[in-house]
Amino acid sequence: MVMKEVETQEEYESLKQESRERLVVIDFYAEWCGPCKMASRPYDELSEKYPDITFVKINIENLESAVEENDVNALPTFAFWKDGKRLESICGTNICKIEEMVEKFK
């Protein structure tokens, strides 16, 4: 399964609307970020393990408004959205912690 890349403000707004119905997890990354590349495959595997949850990626260089709204200060940052609002964000490559948050919020 190919991970969805959110590239426009319209797609981002649609994603926030979708979070009213289900958990949405956003991976904020950059092409030049080594830790982001390390987390990419395990993140993709999480998306396959939890098909009822929406997992997406946002390149920080393409969607600055989303970066600001989610207080992204380090990479990678994973933001968890549900009920139309951001519940929590995690920085770093600890996939076990990300999965804990998925279990907590699903």
One of 30, 33, 53, 95 is an active-site residue; which one?
33
SS3 96: helix
Quick check: is 91 catalytic? Answer: no
Quick check: is 36 catalytic? Answer: yes
Q: Which long-range contacts (CB under 8 A, 24 or more apart) does 65-68 make?
A: 65/9, 65/12, 66/6, 66/9, 66/12, 66/26, 66/28, 67/28
One of 23, 24, 36, 39 is an active-site residue; which one?
36
Active site residues: 33, 36
